[in-house]
Structure 1
Amino acid sequence: MAQFVYVIGTADTKLDELVWLKSCLHAAGVDSHIIDVSTGTPSEVSENSKIDIPSSQIAEYHPEGAGAVFCNERGRAVTAMSVALTRFLRRTSEDIRRLDIQRPLQVSNSDSVIAMFMKVCLCNCD
């Protein structure tokens, strides 16, 4: 089992759930960081101290920059955030290999972001 996990979700609508999951992991002795993948314009939610990695930081990993993610077109934004998240998590293959992922744990409406990320992880962890 992994000793470190990323708790990934949309903090603009699911922050309480993400914080709850992080506290459960902590109680089980697993270190974790909350990653916000909200695609709306960054607000005070993304600056919340409970979020370890805000969506604005993740969005910067998109090849076209954060503007590609925060474009105000939901479908395009979710796809762009998937690209940005994948690039963020790929920054070192060691980080991905440490994740012992059997299946995604989804706690928000960011299912498509997580599903796209999982396809990449599972293909690159062999």
Structure 2
Amino acid sequence: MSEIRFTDQHEWVRVDGDVATVGITDYAQEQLGDVVYVELPEVGKTIAQGDEAAVVESVKAASEVYAPVSGEVVEVNADLEGAPGGVNEDAMGKGWFVKLKLSDKSELAKLMDEDAYKSFVEGLA
């Protein structure tokens, strides 16, 4: 079973074994508006927790996607390069950005679970 965690920058990470799938939350994609471009890292790149993992451009703004955990990029969602609107359609599913081979699972403990993230977002309203 995979667990999902969230950052205060509205990224999510779903861990399955030692692979972490990273994307942005529904809240983040709603704030961005229509996503028109996604820049993804190279496979093989090592990214530290908090570093830029991808860039998203929308009709409203450009925004960095930060890595919620450290690891090596093992896969990128190439579908987003041709159809960046996939982020808006399914931010928490098919709209993922990168998959990282986790280098430090203990970093997950610093992130919010679903209930904590929901409370965090409600506090922003």
TM-score by length of 1: 0.31
Greater RCO structure (CA 8 Å; 6+ sep): 2
TM-score by length of 2: 0.31
Greater strand share, structure number? 2
Greater helix share, structure number? 1
